[in-house]
Amino acid sequence: MEICQFATPDDVATAGAEFIYSRAREAIDERKQFTLALSGGSTPWRMLSELAEFELPWERVKIVQVDERVAPDGDPERNLVHIQKEFADRISLPPENLYAMPVVDENLDEGARQYERALIQVAGEAPVLDIVHLGLGGDGHTASLVPNDPVLETANRDVDITKPYSGRRRMTLTYPIINRARHILWLITGEEKAEMLNRTIQADYDIPAGRVNQQQATVVADAAALSRHLQK
């Protein structure tokens, strides 16, 4: 795991955008395509706004979701709304290159299977995504891999549905596909995340984030979020 410290959340957002841009260029040069899985959060929206300023052959970029709340289309709690506003609309991403999780389907389990098929279309059998971007909750959750949810034990599916969490069920990528990614980008800011970030870095299996593969992981965080780690 590589750990990169920055002074402010804005610096973190800038560094995250630069990280993605660099890996996107490499992937497009080597494989003619770049696949990016996006989580939600205020710092990521700033990161995406900055990423949109870079020059890339966006027609070769495929965007998938790490997780999504089960909520109606256009609901402001949906990550998709912000991905479209802060990023996809600004770069004129071809609509077919943005793969939205089908969380309005009546049958959510079938929706999860549908999304697995879309991921195979994007990244092959046993899909390998170029970058999976992750955040970190105050309870140690990442993606929508939340404490004490059966989804934590999902081993044979790449997409699953959670129990209600903070009032809503979620569709989420699971550990198998997250841990197969070529790069995992953690974007973490704020002192309130310091304890859980330190436990994540220590690979504490008792929190969901601690189970994510560290070999291909990069943490981009501000000094406040890294304060507990820096005390070691």
pLDDT digits (tens, 9 = 90+) for 108-134: 999 999 999 999 999 999 999 999 999
Share of the chain above pLDDT 70, in %: 99
Q: Confidence band (pLDDT; 50, 70, 90) for 228? A: very high
pLDDT the model gives residue 40: 85
CATH 3.40.50.1360 fits 2-203+221-230, yes or no: yes
Calpha distance 121→113 (Å, rounded): 13
pLDDT the model gives residue 70: 96
The mean pLDDT value of the chain amounts to: 95
pLDDT the model gives residue 232: 53
pLDDT the model gives residue 231: 63
Q: Confidence band (pLDDT; 50, 70, 90) for 105? A: confident
Q: Confidence band (pLDDT; 50, 70, 90) for 104? A: very high
Calpha distance 146→140 (Å, rounded): 8
Mean pLDDT of 100-105: 94
pLDDT of 36 over the 90 cut = yes
54-64 residue pLDDT tens: 999 999 999 99
Residue 207 · residue 147 · CB < 8 Å: yes
Mean pLDDT of 80-106: 93
Task: Give the residue from 134, 130, 120 showing the smallest Cα distance to 26.
Answer: 130
pLDDT the model gives residue 154: 97
159-217 residue pLDDT tens: 999 999 988 999 999 999 999 999 999 999 999 999 999 999 999 999 999 999 999 99
Burial bucket for residue 206 (CB in 10 Å: 0-12, 13-18, 19+): exposed
Q: Confidence band (pLDDT; 50, 70, 90) for 43? A: confident
58-83 residue pLDDT tens: 999 999 999 999 999 999 999 999 99
pLDDT of 86 over the 90 cut = no
Q: 79 is written with which tokens?
A: 């990550």
